Amino acid sequence: MADSQFWQEKHDDYAARDWSKKPSIFVEEIVEYFPAGSRILELGCGQGQDGLWLAGARGFHVIATDFEESALDISRQRKLEQDVQNIVFESLNLDELFVYDDEKFDVVYSHLALHYFDTETTKQVFNEIYRVLKPGGIVAFLVNSVNDPEYNSGTKLEDDYSETEGTKKRYFSAESVKKFAEKFDVIICDEKGETYKDIDKGVHHLVRFVGKKPA
């Protein structure tokens, strides 16, 4: 990923945006697939808006993680302001093995956090998601698309993986997502994802995936 200074500046900017304080388009689209009472692991929670909504408005039990402390600070402050009880925010680097036990979670959820890694690390991330999910558990994530306007704009590091201004990003198609997530039964896999942040830029084709770990 880019360095901490890059992300701190991003989060300082995002904190002032209205969309950073409400649940994402994606989470509202796919929450129906989360079993009632689920224990959820969120990967790359940013400023916490999705996790807080899942815990506060929907009653799930959430562990929301990010590697950037400035984002976690904002998330924890919002938790206090909103008086949400059933969520904790924890530090986690996705390029390392997860600290959680096998088959601990009913759902693993991620919004635009799984597309920063080389091929081998991306495979490791998906293996870890599979490991910590209970049999029959749900994985749901949104990632960058090969149809994004910035695709191929930087220095190529691997196929569909490049670096632009110090930030490394992977771009997925629906088919490449299926390969990384091949252990899961597919419920949704398409290129119809949107975000409040990018919708005005004409980005309407982020890759959405919802899958189920075989029971």
> In this predicted model, what pLDDT tens digit does every residue of 132-180 receive, in sequence order?
999 999 999 999 999 988 888 889 999 999 998 888 999 999 999 999 9
137: helix, strand or coil: strand
- Return the number of other C-beta atoms located less than 10 Å from residue 58's C-beta: 15
Domain total in the chain: 1
| CATH number, domain containing residue 67 | 3.40.50.150
Under a CB-based contact definition with an 8 Å cutoff, are residues 189 and 177 in contact? yes
Q: How far is CA 110 from each of CA 5, 25, 153, 183, rounded to the nearest angstrom?
A: 22, 13, 25, 17
The pTM of this model reads 0.91
Mean pLDDT of 197-208: 78
SS3 sequence of 11-23: HHHHCCCHHHHCC
Domain that includes residue 50, residue range: 4-212
